[in-house]
């Protein structure tokens, strides 16, 4: 499928750009349609950008940008959890992550992210070891229920899981059209949102191991980037944002040992400073132009010193999610 002709809106572009400056090295960890990278290269003529994306279908967009800015732009088709493979990682001043799937991916029926695709279930963004077809047709009833419940916050998780397991006994569930019909027969449509939205989000997150990807990349960047580097993250749903916020709070605040013993200075010796006390959200105008930006949240931190604060998964109190993602099917 060609990416030409698909309208692409880089979310909160101006808000992201406002945190950047010229003569810096920047890693755009989620290159996508190249919206951020292109704007940065145009606006800051002495900047250098490294684009990363797991999706090989964006390589063509990256090649175009590379032709226009041969000395200032390069691209790597890797998962952002592999950011340690960037050789001059330490020389970078800004790291940008615009999480989730792109409009290109959502609209590409081959990938089956959309509800009406008749192509075999997949939902991989790229470089995947899993796919939604195996997950739906091999996952135990308990496993499917739990991922719909916890990753999709889906109230009908049990009913949906039971129906899927019953139906697949006769024949495999092949495409997202069939899957969304099954879900839509269980749930009534309220408002404009498709009743399958939450379940599809859950499947996508498991197939792409999104929770572990975010954990690994933020841990690596924060613990290894140079002092004064700035990290900018845009998230799109509550689970993503909750994880990002918890990670930032772990490094950015000295939380009290006990609620009876107040911490004297919350910020002393923390490796980062949180620059957005509350997340920034899209403007009314942007939401009007691009309604999907309404759920976006922008959080920014700055590395302020090298400390040996070492984040462990257990510090985040989200083991249930990591375990579900890890113990696939
Ligand atoms: C919302 S889009 C980014 C759009 C981009 N900011 C722009 O302006 O065009 C997210 C992109 O991140 C990529 N992505 C998501 N998770 C990733 C991961 N773990 N590693 C590398 N790329 C990832 C997706 O493939 C997708 O292209």
- Ligand 1 neighbours (beta carbon < 6 A): 10, 30, 32-36, 52-55, 58, 79-81, 98, 100, 102, 125-126, 213
CA 122 to ligand 1 centroid distance, Å = 17
Superfamily of domain 13-98+210-305: Vaccinia Virus protein VP39 (3.40.50.150)
pLDDT in tens, 201-234: 999 999 999 999 999 999 999 999 999 999 999 9
The residue contributing the CA closest to ligand 1 atom 12 is 30
Binned at pLDDT 50, 70 and 90, residue 262 comes out as: low
CA 210 to ligand 1 centroid distance, Å = 11
CA 264 to ligand 1 centroid distance, Å = 40
Q: Report whether 194 contacts 111 (CB < 8 A).
A: no
The residue contributing the CA closest to ligand 1 atom 5 is 32
Predicted local distance difference test score (pLDDT) of residue 189: 80
Predicted local distance difference test score (pLDDT) of residue 169: 97
- On the question of pLDDT at 2 being above 70, the answer is no
Binned at pLDDT 50, 70 and 90, residue 115 comes out as: very high
Predicted local distance difference test score (pLDDT) of residue 328: 79
pLDDT in tens, 145-200: 999 999 999 999 999 999 999 999 999 999 999 999 999 999 988 888 899 999 99
Mean pLDDT of 110-135: 96
The residue contributing the CA closest to ligand 1 atom 20 is 79
- On the question of pLDDT at 261 being above 70, the answer is no
pLDDT in tens, 39-97: 999 999 999 999 999 999 999 999 999 999 999 999 999 999 999 999 999 999 999 99
CA 80 to ligand 1 centroid distance, Å = 9
- On the question of pLDDT at 5 being above 80, the answer is no
Binned at pLDDT 50, 70 and 90, residue 329 comes out as: confident
The residue contributing the CA closest to ligand 1 atom 4 is 32
CA 6 to ligand 1 centroid distance, Å = 16
Binned at pLDDT 50, 70 and 90, residue 25 comes out as: very high
Query: What is the SS3 assignment for the chain?
Result: CCCCCCCCCCCCHHHHHCCCCCCCEEEECCCCCCHHHHHHHHHCCCCEEEEECCCHHHHHHHHHHHHHCCCCEEEECCCHHHHHHCCCHHHCCEEEEECCCCHHHHHCHHHCCCCCCCCECCCCCCCCCCCHHHHHHHCCHHHHHHHHHHHHCCCCHHHHHHHHHHHHHHCCCCEHHHHHHHHHHHCCCCCCCCCCHHHHHHHHHHHCCHHHHHHHHHHHHHHHCCCCCEEEEEECCHHHHHHHHHHHHHHHCCCCCECCECCCCCCCCCCEEECCCCCEECCHHHHHHCHHHHHCEEEEEEECCCCCCCCCHHHHCCHHHHHHHHCCC
CA 29 to ligand 1 centroid distance, Å = 7
What are the boundaries of each domain within the chain?
Answer: 13-98+210-305, 113-207
Ligand 1 atom with minimal separation from the 125 CA: 25
For ligand 1, mutation pick of 56, 102, 219, 244 (most atoms within 8 Å of CB): 102
CA 314 to ligand 1 centroid distance, Å = 26
The residue contributing the CA closest to ligand 1 atom 27 is 32
Binned at pLDDT 50, 70 and 90, residue 122 comes out as: very high
Nearest CA to 177 out of 124, 121, 101, 93 is that of: 121
Of 266 and 222, the one with more pLDDT: 222
Mean pLDDT of 305-313: 94
For ligand 1, mutation pick of 125, 240, 296 (most atoms within 8 Å of CB): 125
Interatomic CA distance for residues 72 and 46, integer angstroms: 8
Interatomic CA distance for residues 120 and 70, integer angstroms: 38
The residue contributing the CA closest to ligand 1 atom 7 is 35
Predicted local distance difference test score (pLDDT) of residue 289: 94
Superfamily of domain 113-207: Putative methyltransferase TM0872, insert domain (1.10.150.170)
Mean of the per-residue pLDDT values for the chain? 94
Interatomic CA distance for residues 16 and 14, integer angstroms: 5
Ligand 1 atom with minimal separation from the 217 CA: 19
This prediction has a pTM of: 0.95
Predicted local distance difference test score (pLDDT) of residue 86: 97
Mean pLDDT of 127-149: 97
Neighbours of 162 (CB within 10 A): 14
Predicted local distance difference test score (pLDDT) of residue 188: 81
- On the question of pLDDT at 130 being above 70, the answer is yes
- On the question of pLDDT at 3 being above 60, the answer is no
- On the question of pLDDT at 290 being above 80, the answer is yes
């Amino acid at each position: 499928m060609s990416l030409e002709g698909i309208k692409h809106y880089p979310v909160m572009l101006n808000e992201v750009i406002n945190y950047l400056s010229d003569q810096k090295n920047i890693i755009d960890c989620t290159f996508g349609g190249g919206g951020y990278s292109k704007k940065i290269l145009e606006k800051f003529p002495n900047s250098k950008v490294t684009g990363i994306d797991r999706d090989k279908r964006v390589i063509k967009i990256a090649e175009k940008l590379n032709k226009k800015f041969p000395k200032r732009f390069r691209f790597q088709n890797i998962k952002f959890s592999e950011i340690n493979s960037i050789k001059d990682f330490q020389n970078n001043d800004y790291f940008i992550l615009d999480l989730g799937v792109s409009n290109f991916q959502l609209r590409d029926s081959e990938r089956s992210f959309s509800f009406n695709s008749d192509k075999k279930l997949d939902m991989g963004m790229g470089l995947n070891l899993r796919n939604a077809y195996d997950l739906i047709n091999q996952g135990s009833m308990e496993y499917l229920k739990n991922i719909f419940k916890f990753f999709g916050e889906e109230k009908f998780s049990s009913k949906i899981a039971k129906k899927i397991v019953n139906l697949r006994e006769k024949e495999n569930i092949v495409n997202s059209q069939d899957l969304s019909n099954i879900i839509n027969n269980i749930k009534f449509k309220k408002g404009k949102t498709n009743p399958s939205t939450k379940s599809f989000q859950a499947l996508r997150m498991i197939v792409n191991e999104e929770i572990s990807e975010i954990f690994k990349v933020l841990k690596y960047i924060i613990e290894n980037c140079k002092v004064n580097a700035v990290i900018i993250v845009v998230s799109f749903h509550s689970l993503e944002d909750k994880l990002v916020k918890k990670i930032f709070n772990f490094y950015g605040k000295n939380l009290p040992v006990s609620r009876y013993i107040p911490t004297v200075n919350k910020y002393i010796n923390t490796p980062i400073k949180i620059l957005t006390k509350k997340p920034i959200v899209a403007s009314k105008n942007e939401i009007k132009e691009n309604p999907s930006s309404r759920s976006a949240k922008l959080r920014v931190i700055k590395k302020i010193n090298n400390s040996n604060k070492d984040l462990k998964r257990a510090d985040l109190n989200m083991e249930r999610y990591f375990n579900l993602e890890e113990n696939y099917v």
